[in-house]
A and B are shown apart, each in its own frame.
Chain A
């Protein structure tokens, strides 16, 4: 990693970041490196501005999404939170996942939008509570081992949440 994504946007490397600052600094970099500004520039300058825009885009996408931001913060601390070869998750959590998945499947089959919306709210609340937990673990306690577990849970919750949203969209 040649440049820290947080530093690029003038942010401290924390989970609890000001999204407005991220957004506005991202827009600023994008407009400063916009190809229109480099029409008459040298080839080297054109290339450099393009690289800046690409990096800013990648950094923005990473920091904008809570699960990606947590993964990146853990990476900065030398921890790979997600690898293909590690499929062990707490049994209780997986059973809960199955229950939510089955509830989604049943509600979709019954075209029950109200139940899907309730499920969606439940998932959003779950996601929020995991994020609050991550703020504590990453920013205050620096407990990266537990933060890794929570980050992995957040990825599952986000996936269910997205699938519920898709089901609602299809029915509406």
Chain B
């Protein structure tokens, strides 16, 4: 299958690969997996006191499209509020990367990883408020 130039670019030069400190109260972690292909994706976001995402890192074990989808969203996430991040749709990722229909699930994985990371940071924030 032919990958688009954008997928190849992110696949060959992935942005923001790595991890953040998962115990940091400002860091939210989203971990998801695609049972269709066995891909796993971890996305971490660091959110400052104004609710802005300062940093984002990912680690994805999967095909080129899954790696490109997660690499792309780490670029998109920086500077966004968590609510803006939560609103990112997989269709926007798929469109940007020109993913073929059989690879749409890779963009779904990235969207779900964002949602899981946002849910994690919100849970941390409300735990802090309750304390």
Contact = CB atoms under 8 A, between A and B. Distances in A.
Chain B binds chain A: yes
B108 interface: yes
Contacts of B42: 94, 98
A156 B40 CA distance: 9
Contact of A87 (B34, B59, B61): B34
B105 A94 contact: no
Q: How large is the interface on A (under 10, 10 to 19, 20 to 34, 35 or more residues)?
A: 20 to 34
Interface string A54-94: 00000000000000000000000000011111111101011
Question: Mostly helix, strand, loop or mixed at chain A's interface?
Answer: helix
A159 interface: yes
27 contacts: A82-B36, A83-B36, A84-B34, A84-B36, A85-B105, A85-B108, A87-B32, A87-B33, A87-B109, A89-B33, A91-B31, A94-B32, A94-B33, A97-B33, A97-B40, A97-B61, A98-B31, A98-B42, A101-B40, A101-B61, A155-B35, A155-B36, A156-B38, A156-B40, A158-B38, A159-B39, A160-B38
Given A84-B105, A98-B59, A89 B36 contact: no
Q: How large is the interface on B (under 10, 10 to 19, 20 to 34, 35 or more residues)?
A: 10 to 19
Interface of A: 81-89, 91, 93-95, 97-98, 101, 152, 155-156, 158-160
A94 B41 CA distance: 9
Contact of B35 (A91, A98, A152, A160): A152
B39 to A, nearest CB: 8
A89 B31 CA distance: 9
A89 B36 CA distance: 12
A172 B105 CA distance: 34
A86 B31 contact: no
A156 B109 CA distance: 15
A84 B101 CA distance: 11
Contacts of B108: 84-85, 87
Contacts of B38: 155-156, 158-160
Given A94-B40, A101-B40, A89 B61 contact: no
B20 interface: no
